[in-house]
Amino acid sequence: MKQTTQAGQRARWIAETAVLIALLVVLQGATASTNQFITGSCVNTVLGVAALVAGLWSGVAVALVSPFFAYPLGIGPQLLPIVPAVALGNVVLVLLLWLLAGKKLPECPISWRVIAVVVAAAAKALTLYLVVVQVLCRVLSLADAQVATFSLMFSWPQLVTALIGGTLAMYLAPVLRKALKR
């Protein structure tokens, strides 16, 4: 019976992660012609929901594949070396949301949820700023206009979209967990 339970859990994890990735790709495609704030907030919401509802490894999987789907859709930076940096920033967000609120979300007070969102969003924004702006923009041979664009794109807007997405995920996750009987 234990193998059936493990196989069932694995199948559920795969199905949930696949649905979250599909939702993410649809949202990226649907918001591609809008702006960074809408697309980024949607992406960060799905990342947060993945971690807070489906678990850490689902969140990590969605976080890692998200920018690799966005790249061919023309969303975000169209410079391949930056794509793994975006994946890293996503993983930082997911990991911190899960560590600070994921395990104890149903009992987690609002004040702690706010702290979790602020810490995770700030860490993601800082990670992206350091890796993209301070490292990649200096190492890669980029035109001044590209450096200026990436410097803006990977600074305060990342904090704003992560705060919005993290906040929405904190509101959606308890409802989804209840609906899924978790």
CB atoms within 10 A of CB 159: 18
Distance (Å, whole) CA 65 – CA 26: 13
Residue found under tokens 């997911």 = 94
CA 75 to chain CA mean position, Å? 14
Is a pLDDT exceeding 90 seen at residue 9? no
Whether residue 97 has pLDDT greater than 60: yes
**Residue 31, by phi and psi: left (phi above 0), alpha (psi -120 to 50) or beta?**
alpha
pLDDT tens per residue across span 99-123 = 999 878 778 888 999 999 999 999 9
HSE, CB side, 13 Å, CA atoms: give it for residue 47. Answer: 36
Q: Rounded to whole angstroms, how far apart are CA atoms 69 and 39?
A: 13
C-alpha of 172 from chain center: 15
Q: What is the pTM of this model?
A: 0.92
- The answer to whether residues 96 and 122 touch, using CB atoms and an 8 Å cutoff, is no
| pLDDT greater than 90 at residue 35 | no
Q: Give the Cα-Cα-Cα angle 122, 136, 161 (nearest 5 degrees).
A: 30
Does 20 have pLDDT greater than 80?
A: yes
Q: What is the pLDDT of residue 2?
A: 57
Asked if pLDDT for residue 124 goes beyond 60, the answer is yes
- For residues 4 and 153, give the distance between their C-alpha atoms in angstroms, rounded to a whole number: 47
Helices 83-97 and 156-179, axial angle in degrees (round to 10): 50
- pLDDT value of position 4: 61
Distance CA 62, CA 108 (A): 24
Q: Each residue of 39-91: pLDDT tens digit? A: 999 999 999 999 999 999 999 999 999 999 888 888 877 899 999 999 999 99
pLDDT for the residue numbered 181: 82
pLDDT value, residue 150:
92
Do residues 37 and 161 make contact, with C-beta atoms less than 8 angstroms apart?
A: yes
- Kindly report, residue by residue over 147-178, the tens digit of the pLDDT: 999 999 999 999 999 999 999 999 999 999 98
172/181: higher pLDDT: 172
The predicted pLDDT at position 77 comes to: 79
> Which of 85, 78, 82 lies closest to 63, judged by CA?
85
Phi (first) and psi of residue 71, to 5 degrees: -55, -55
Q: The dihedral of CA 77, 117, 126, 89: what is its sign?
A: negative
Supply the pLDDT for residue 107. 80
